C-alpha cells in the first residue's frame, strides 16, 4: 500500500493595511470621479459640462480598475508559491490566469539554497531568499562561494554574461521570502523535502 500524494503546499501573503488603504483610496477617487460626471451633467452639455463629464468618466475607468485589482488581490489571496508532487509553481498575480505563472519540475531542481542579503526598509535590514538551483555545479558554487559573491543570485537585473553557468535560471527562481508570508522559510523547506528529497544548502549565516 502506497502513501497518498501530499496535498499542494500553498504559500500566501497575509492581507496588509497598505492594501486596504489602497482599496479605500481608489474607492474615494471613484466617488470623486462620479461627482465630476454628475457635475458635468447638471451643468448641461456645454464646454464646461462636457469637460467635467469626460474627466469624471476617465477617472471612473482608471480608479475603478485600480479598485477592482486591489479588492481582487485581497479577496482572492492567490498563492505566491505552490509546492506539489510535480515541482514548484509561481502563479501569476490576479487578475491574470494563475496558470500563466512559471513552473519548475523536480527533475530540473538539483538543490534548494537559502540565501540572505541586506535590504533597506525591512525590519532587520536584511531579507531571506529561497533559490531553486538547476545543476550540481550551481549547487557546489552556492555551497563553497563566499556569501558576498552569492548576492548576485538575488538580483534580477544582473546581465546574463556576468552570471556563472546556470546562474540565469537560478536568478529566475530566486524567490524573496516576504515579510507577510503565512509560513517561514524552514517550514517551506520542510514541505519541499516532504515532496522531493532535494539537498538543501543554507548559506544565510555562514
* Cell reading at 99: 496558470
pLDDT reported for residue 91 = 92
Query: Rg of the Cα trace of the chain?
Result: 23
Instruction: Yes or no: say if 79 and 156 are a contact pair by the CB < 8 Å rule.
Output: no
- Whole-model pTM? 0.73
Instruction: Return the domain boundaries, the chain.
Output: 17-76, 93-202
Write out the chain's pLDDT in tens, 206 residues: 445 567 899 999 876 667 677 778 888 888 888 887 887 777 666 777 777 788 888 888 888 888 777 776 666 578 999 999 999 999 988 778 888 999 999 999 999 999 998 876 666 778 999 999 999 999 999 999 998 889 999 988 888 778 888 888 899 999 999 888 889 999 999 999 999 999 999 999 88
How many Cα neighbours within 13 Å face the side chain of 142? 35
Shortest CA distance to 24 belongs to which of 61, 80, 63? 63
Instruction: Yes or no: say if 179 and 123 are a contact pair by the CB < 8 Å rule.
Output: yes
Amino acid at each position: 500500500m502506497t502513501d497518498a500524494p501530499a496535498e499542494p503546499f500553498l504559500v500566501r501573503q497575509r492581507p496588509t493595511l497598505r492594501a486596504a488603504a489602497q482599496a479605500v483610496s481608489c474607492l474615494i477617487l471613484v466617488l470623486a470621479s462620479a461627482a465630476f460626471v454628475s457635475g458635468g451633467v447638471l451643468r448641461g452639455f456645454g464646454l464646461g459640462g462636457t469637460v467635467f463629464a469626460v474627466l469624471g468618466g476617465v477617472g471612473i475607468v482608471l480608479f475603478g480598475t485600480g479598485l477592482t485589482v486591489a479588492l481582487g488581490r485581497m479577496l482572492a489571496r492567490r498563492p505566491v508559491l505552490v509546492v506539489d508532487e510535480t515541482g514548484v509553481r509561481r502563479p501569476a498575480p490576479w487578475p491574470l490566469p494563475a496558470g500563466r505563472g512559471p513552473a519548475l519540475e523536480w527533475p530540473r531542481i538539483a538543490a534548494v539554497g537559502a540565501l540572505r542579503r541586506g535590504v533597506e526598509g525591512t525590519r532587520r535590514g536584511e531579507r531571506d531568499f529561497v533559490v531553486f538551483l538547476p545543476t550540481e555545479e550551481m549547487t557546489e558554487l552556492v555551497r563553497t562561494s563566499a556569501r558576498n559573491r552569492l548576492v548576485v543570485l538575488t538580483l534580477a537585473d544582473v546581465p546574463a554574461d556576468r552570471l556563472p553557468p546556470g546562474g540565469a535560471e537560478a536568478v529566475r527562481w530566486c524567490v524573496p521570502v516576504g515579510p507577510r508570508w503565512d509560513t517561514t522559510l524552514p517550514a517551506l523547506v520542510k514541505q519541499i523535502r516532504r515532496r522531493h528529497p532535494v539537498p538543501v544548502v543554507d548559506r544565510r549565516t555562514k
